[in-house]
A = this chain, B = another copy of it.
């Protein structure tokens, strides 16, 4: 099998080319299924692609491999012929395109890829995604997706049980990402308070106010802009005031902010929401997964009081992109809010239980099958497997925090131990470390992270994010959601930042 790996690796680099079973793929796509006698050719072609993918996967987990073979956009445009043509290409050509695409892709499975909240590549999740693509169907009805609709039902119920809603009752949907999940929540809150908004629009509604924490995700504002509420109606929770003429309808508490990984106090917020009879949403896109950890779920105490919760398994649970759930406490509301009764899809005289035709509660018409990868991973790991994986990531971030908090040349961006895996810090190269002019130091420091990051990408050794925030100059935001990362990778990251930034 080791020999097989080597052969596969060689194939990825083009060594074997596209010979398999002694057959050269000089034909075109029109020789594949549904072509007559296309089955052998199809299997040969697909197996060729799979061999490339398997080799890529093995390579991605190898620390000797670069995370990225970086090229500037104009360079990359010239490194391959990416143009679309009138004439068909040969299958050989298609394999070359696949190889080129993989060559310049980011290896998101790499143990040293820390750039986003979604990192790593789960093998069972990947297998499930391949199956999903092969099944190639849509979530709108039981008729066209019987198994997936059932699995969505089973999984959403399980997630609601974990949130703490009695018997897992309630509603929910898998949506194309946390921003859309948050937008759904805002939409439901508005509809709950003013059901006539569906027909009459905002002309029937007073000016609304939505409250959210200072560091909440930008999707709350995007949602308010899209829904005709306006970004001016999104008011920072730190200044929770009743603005004259604005009716509060929605509070979005954040469980795990994007940059700091901070958790809002959900119980206190729920008290306010109850007092003013306002919809309480918990944006747990990033932090929601901590509900699966016995050790960390206290950070979300009070989540069961929420009216809705966003929870993205594609982040801390490492489910392949994308997989985002919105969970809703009240049953039936989503359907009432969003249904339009398209009778070509949701015929009322079908021969099976229509409660499984869940498509009309979505904003989308066609909806991608995002459930199977989560479901299959859950089966493979069990709840305890997810818990262990999440706890390990938090352990790694604690290790990082402890390692740098008193280390020379480092400054932490916020006080105290991080609540999630976000460790935010500045690295001060020796050249600016002892500067007396603090304003000048700040100016110089602002340029350090972007240069180190650019060098990381050019060397391809690791990737980690940076950003400014408020009056704070550029700092690194290290996050750990990658199940492949180890203590050694954290050590490597520190050494690499120092190696690449030492001269700045």
Contacts and interface: CB of A to CB of B under 8 A. Distances in A.
Contacts of A369: 321
Interface in A195-214: 197-205, 207-208
Given A46-B126, A363-B222, A450-B347, A376 B321 contact: no
Given A82-B150, A201-B230, A144 B123 contact: no
B86 A383 contact: yes
A1 B28 contact: no
A366 B314 contact: yes
Given A88-B385, A457-B143, A366 B322 contact: yes
A42 interface: yes
Interface in A66-85: 70-74, 76-77, 82-85
B84 A364 contact: no
A94 B29 contact: no
Nearest to A362: B179
A115 B101 contact: no
B73 A353 contact: yes
A103 B133 CA distance: 15
Contact of A134 (B34, B116, B126, B338): B126
Contacts of A28: 380
Nearest to A228: B228
B219 A365 contact: yes
Nearest to A131: B98
A423 interface: no
Contacts of A128: 98
Contacts of A368: 176-177, 321-322, 368
Contact of A147 (B101, B352, B385): B101
A311 to B, nearest CB: 14
A233 to B, nearest CB: 6
Chain B CB count within 10 A is highest, among A28, A33, A226, for A226
Contact of A133 (B72, B133, B142): B133
A180 interface: yes
Contact of A150 (B76, B143, B225, B383): B76
Contact of A91 (B138, B183, B380): B380
Given A202-B201, A363-B180, A380-B89, A124 B450 contact: no
A136 B127 contact: no
A482 B204 CA distance: 45
A347 B474 CA distance: 9
A367 B219 CA distance: 13
B382 A136 contact: no
Contacts of A427: none
List the 6 shortest-distance A-B pairs measured between CB atoms, nearest first.
A228-B228, A201-B230, A202-B202, A34-B484, A29-B380, A1-B40
5 contacts: A84-B379, A86-B384, A179-B366, A226-B338, A368-B368
